[in-house]
Amino acid sequence: MADVPANPKLWNLLLGQAKAKYPSHGKNLAFPASKWLREEYARQGGKFVASKRDVDPKLRDVKKDAEDAKKRKIAEKKKKQKQLGFLN
């Protein structure tokens, strides 16, 4: 099943709207918000692709990619420190 939005900019815009419109459970969206998000994304012409590599470079959300890269780097650093015994 295709599960990566082909237009991340549109997806992130609608994600913000869904979070404002519906109550959320921490970082995760509630079911009604998630359903609305997928339906609205499809209604506005959004498609899903099999892999992030299949996303058109012009449609990428560079800001979000940079944030994700930072978070991933921090998580990897914590994991490494934990393996070395510096964190519990």
Question: How deeply is 40 buried, as exposed, middle or buried, from its count of CB atoms within 10 A (0-12, 13-18, 19+)?
Answer: middle
Q: pLDDT, tens digit, for every residue of 40-84? A: 999 999 999 998 888 888 888 888 888 989 999 999 999 999 888
User: Is the per-residue pLDDT at 38 higher than 60?
Assistant: yes
Domain that holds residue 8: 4-84
Tally the domains of the chain.
Answer: 1
**Between the CA of residue 20 and those of 36, 47, 56, what are the distances in Å?**
12, 23, 28
What is the value of pTM for the model shown?
A: 0.71
